Amino acid sequence: MKNITVTALFLLLSTNAFACYDDKSLSIEDNFDNCLVEAEQGNAGCQYILGVMYRKGEGVAQDFKETVKWYTKAAEQGDAKAQSTLGIMYDHGRGVVQDYKNAHMWFNIAAANGNSKAVENREIIAKEMAPSQIKKAQDMARE
Protein backbone atom coordinates (compact mmCIF):
# COMPACT_ATOMS: atom_id res chain seq x y z
CA MET A 1 0.00 0.00 0.00
CA LYS A 2 2.85 2.38 0.84
CA ASN A 3 4.42 1.80 -2.61
CA ILE A 4 1.12 2.53 -4.31
CA THR A 5 0.74 5.78 -2.35
CA VAL A 6 4.29 6.84 -3.19
CA THR A 7 3.76 5.94 -6.86
CA ALA A 8 0.47 7.83 -7.02
CA LEU A 9 2.05 10.88 -5.39
CA PHE A 10 4.98 10.72 -7.82
CA LEU A 11 2.66 10.54 -10.81
CA LEU A 12 0.58 13.41 -9.51
CA LEU A 13 3.65 15.58 -8.96
CA SER A 14 5.16 14.59 -12.31
CA THR A 15 1.95 15.38 -14.14
CA ASN A 16 1.73 18.76 -12.43
CA ALA A 17 5.37 19.58 -13.09
CA PHE A 18 5.13 18.88 -16.80
CA ALA A 19 1.55 19.97 -17.40
CA CYS A 20 2.99 23.09 -18.98
CA TYR A 21 4.29 20.98 -21.86
CA ASP A 22 1.88 18.08 -22.17
CA ASP A 23 -0.99 19.54 -24.16
CA LYS A 24 -0.64 17.82 -27.55
CA SER A 25 -3.41 19.98 -29.00
CA LEU A 26 -1.26 23.11 -28.58
CA SER A 27 1.57 24.24 -30.79
CA ILE A 28 5.06 24.08 -29.36
CA GLU A 29 5.00 27.90 -29.07
CA ASP A 30 1.78 27.75 -27.03
CA ASN A 31 3.27 25.04 -24.83
CA PHE A 32 6.27 27.33 -24.37
CA ASP A 33 3.96 30.14 -23.27
CA ASN A 34 2.26 27.81 -20.77
CA CYS A 35 5.65 26.73 -19.42
CA LEU A 36 6.81 30.31 -19.11
CA VAL A 37 3.80 31.31 -17.02
CA GLU A 38 4.23 28.37 -14.64
CA ALA A 39 8.03 28.71 -14.52
CA GLU A 40 7.75 32.37 -13.58
CA GLN A 41 5.43 31.30 -10.76
CA GLY A 42 8.20 29.06 -9.41
CA ASN A 43 7.33 25.63 -10.84
CA ALA A 44 10.72 23.86 -10.90
CA GLY A 45 9.55 21.23 -13.38
CA CYS A 46 8.48 23.90 -15.84
CA GLN A 47 11.71 25.81 -15.23
CA TYR A 48 13.62 22.68 -16.20
CA ILE A 49 11.44 22.19 -19.30
CA LEU A 50 12.09 25.80 -20.36
CA GLY A 51 15.81 25.13 -20.01
CA VAL A 52 15.43 22.11 -22.27
CA MET A 53 13.42 24.12 -24.81
CA TYR A 54 16.07 26.84 -24.93
CA ARG A 55 18.88 24.29 -25.14
CA LYS A 56 17.25 22.49 -28.07
CA GLY A 57 15.72 25.57 -29.69
CA GLU A 58 12.20 24.12 -29.43
CA GLY A 59 9.56 26.83 -29.72
CA VAL A 60 12.21 29.51 -29.21
CA ALA A 61 15.59 30.42 -30.64
CA GLN A 62 18.36 28.31 -29.13
CA ASP A 63 19.93 30.32 -26.31
CA PHE A 64 22.36 28.72 -23.89
CA LYS A 65 22.35 31.70 -21.51
CA GLU A 66 18.57 31.33 -21.11
CA THR A 67 19.11 27.59 -20.74
CA VAL A 68 21.46 28.18 -17.81
CA LYS A 69 19.08 30.75 -16.29
CA TRP A 70 16.15 28.31 -16.18
CA TYR A 71 18.23 25.28 -15.17
CA THR A 72 19.67 27.34 -12.31
CA LYS A 73 16.22 28.34 -11.06
CA ALA A 74 15.12 24.69 -11.07
CA ALA A 75 18.43 23.45 -9.62
CA GLU A 76 18.23 25.88 -6.72
CA GLN A 77 14.84 24.38 -5.87
CA GLY A 78 16.36 20.89 -5.70
CA ASP A 79 15.58 19.51 -9.18
CA ALA A 80 18.29 16.84 -9.59
CA LYS A 81 17.96 16.68 -13.40
CA ALA A 82 18.47 20.44 -13.61
CA GLN A 83 21.42 20.22 -11.22
CA SER A 84 23.08 17.50 -13.28
CA THR A 85 22.40 19.22 -16.59
CA LEU A 86 23.70 22.50 -15.19
CA GLY A 87 26.90 20.63 -14.37
CA ILE A 88 27.14 19.65 -18.03
CA MET A 89 26.62 23.26 -19.10
CA TYR A 90 29.53 24.35 -16.88
CA ASP A 91 31.65 21.40 -18.03
CA HIS A 92 31.21 22.33 -21.69
CA GLY A 93 31.07 26.11 -21.25
CA ARG A 94 27.63 26.45 -22.80
CA GLY A 95 25.91 29.67 -21.72
CA VAL A 96 28.59 30.16 -19.07
CA VAL A 97 32.36 30.29 -18.92
CA GLN A 98 33.71 26.74 -18.69
CA ASP A 99 34.27 26.06 -15.01
CA TYR A 100 35.12 22.59 -13.73
CA LYS A 101 34.66 23.61 -10.09
CA ASN A 102 31.07 24.70 -10.70
CA ALA A 103 30.44 21.64 -12.86
CA HIS A 104 31.77 19.35 -10.12
CA MET A 105 29.72 21.23 -7.50
CA TRP A 106 26.45 20.77 -9.44
CA PHE A 107 27.25 17.11 -10.20
CA ASN A 108 27.96 16.61 -6.49
CA ILE A 109 24.65 18.19 -5.46
CA ALA A 110 22.72 16.21 -8.09
CA ALA A 111 24.44 13.00 -6.97
CA ALA A 112 23.41 13.71 -3.37
CA ASN A 113 19.85 14.07 -4.68
CA GLY A 114 19.96 10.63 -6.28
CA ASN A 115 20.99 11.36 -9.87
CA SER A 116 23.20 8.42 -10.86
CA LYS A 117 24.41 10.05 -14.10
CA ALA A 118 25.75 12.94 -12.02
CA VAL A 119 27.88 10.46 -10.05
CA GLU A 120 29.47 9.26 -13.30
CA ASN A 121 29.97 12.79 -14.60
CA ARG A 122 31.51 13.93 -11.32
CA GLU A 123 34.05 11.10 -11.53
CA ILE A 124 34.90 11.96 -15.13
CA ILE A 125 35.40 15.65 -14.49
CA ALA A 126 37.44 15.01 -11.35
CA LYS A 127 40.12 13.50 -13.59
CA GLU A 128 40.55 16.94 -15.20
CA MET A 129 40.89 18.75 -11.86
CA ALA A 130 43.61 19.31 -9.31
CA PRO A 131 42.91 18.02 -5.79
CA SER A 132 42.62 21.61 -4.53
CA GLN A 133 39.93 22.33 -7.15
CA ILE A 134 37.97 19.23 -6.13
CA LYS A 135 38.14 20.26 -2.48
CA LYS A 136 36.89 23.75 -3.36
CA ALA A 137 34.03 22.26 -5.43
CA GLN A 138 33.08 19.99 -2.53
CA ASP A 139 33.11 22.94 -0.13
CA MET A 140 30.90 24.91 -2.53
CA ALA A 141 28.45 21.99 -2.75
CA ARG A 142 28.21 21.80 1.05
CA GLU A 143 27.44 25.51 1.23
Lowest mean pLDDT among 50-59, 97-106, 127-136: 50-59
Picking from 88, 76, 72, the residue whose alpha carbon sits closest to that of residue 113 is: 76
5 vs 92: which has the higher pLDDT: 92
Please write the tens of the pLDDT for every residue from 10-43: 333 333 444 565 555 566 677 788 889 999 999 9
Cβ 80 vs Cβ 107: under 8 Å: no
Say which residues have a Cβ less than 8 Å from residue 83's Cβ, sequence separation at least 6. Answer: 75, 106, 107, 109, 110, 113, 115, 118
77's enclosing H/E stretch is none
Give the per-residue pLDDT at 125.
Answer: 95
* pLDDT at 44 exceeding the cut of 70: yes
DSSP-derived 3-state class of residue 7: helix
Mean pLDDT of the chain: 85
What's the average model confidence in pLDDT over 116-129? 96
